[in-house]
Amino acid sequence: MRKVFGFTAAEFVPAPEAVLRAQGVKRDRAADPRTAGLCTEALGLLEGLARPTGLLQELSRADFAAVYCGEGRNAERSPLAEIAPRAERLALFALTLGAPVTERIASLFAAGDFALAAMLDAAASESAELIADSLQRNYARALGETGGLNGQTRLLRYSPGYCGWHLSGQGALFAALRPAAIGITLRESYLMEPLKSISGVIVAGPGAIHSFADDYPFCADCDTRGCRQRIRTILQS
Ligand code: SF4
């Protein structure tokens, strides 16, 4: 399966509360009118400028093992290295909000409109995560339609640069996925162009394979412990 997906505004425009939280407004506090106004303006810009597109391509466990090796700079042990060999299905993915959003953020910063630039930047980051969630749901739906999903199958995604998968893994991922087809290219630094893009692998398999302890050596430097919530969510679904 190799497939390109588009996304509707309902899928990619984040809730104002999520953007305000990302900007430091506490969950139980109302934003002041100026901040709330900036958020509304940023979301309007995002909806008008975004060209969200995602690309998904399945590959075998053996092919993913080669992609994961990349330049050989991964952590000695990592969740993905232990989970992927037990996956039922694997799919590389890349998605982007498109260049116009990134360009507007840069032009706002260049013009000194830092408040709106930062709000649009936060909205775009939230939006990219929403698109990743939506792409994952689309993959689950496609698996369901082709009989590749049973009641126990759960999906979780991983990206180079996180959880022991070295950022240089982007090179092998891009060589296998070829996301230039949807306008995403890789800089020498392994950052993606446009900047508001996400790449990685979606792992589909029994819920139990996704559960792991957060005691890898690199976890000591992890502030978010984001895997805990993600694992809880998929195991409860
Ligand atoms: S604790 Fe952080 S670094 Fe460790 S696996 Fe979870 S998300 Fe990754």
**pLDDT tens digits, one per residue of 29-85:** 777 888 889 999 999 999 999 999 999 999 999 999 999 999 999 999 999 999 999
- pTM recorded for the entire structure: 0.91
87 band by pLDDT with thresholds 50, 70 and 90: very high
**What does the alpha-carbon distance between residue 48 and residue 234 come to, in Å, rounded to a whole number?**
32
Q: Which long-range contacts (CB under 8 A, 24 or more apart) does 160-164 make?
A: 160/70, 160/190, 160/199, 160/200, 161/190, 163/78, 163/79, 163/80, 163/216, 163/218, 163/227, 164/74, 164/75, 164/77, 164/78, 164/79, 164/80, 164/81, 164/216, 164/218
Pocket test for ligand 1, best of 203, 212, 218 (most atoms within 8 A of CB): 218
Please give the pLDDT value at position 33: 87
State whether the beta carbon of 225 lies less than 6 angstroms from ligand 1. Answer: yes
Residue located via tokens 């070295």: 166
How many Cβ atoms are within 10 Å of 79's Cβ, its own excluded?
25
Distance 79 CA to ligand 1 centre (A): 9
Chain mean pLDDT for the chain = 93
Instruction: Write the pLDDT tens digit of every residue in 4-31.
Output: 999 999 999 999 999 998 888 887 777 7
Least confident of 116-125, 129-138, 219-228: 219-228
Residue 128, pLDDT above cutoff 90: yes
Tokens of 99: 């260049």
Q: Is 163 in the pocket of ligand 1 (CB under 6 A)?
A: yes
- The amino acid at residue 160 is P
In the chain, the percentage of residues whose pLDDT exceeds 90 is 77
pLDDT in tens, 173-195: 999 999 999 999 999 999 999 99
pLDDT over threshold 70, residue 148? no
CB 1 within 8 A of CB 142: yes
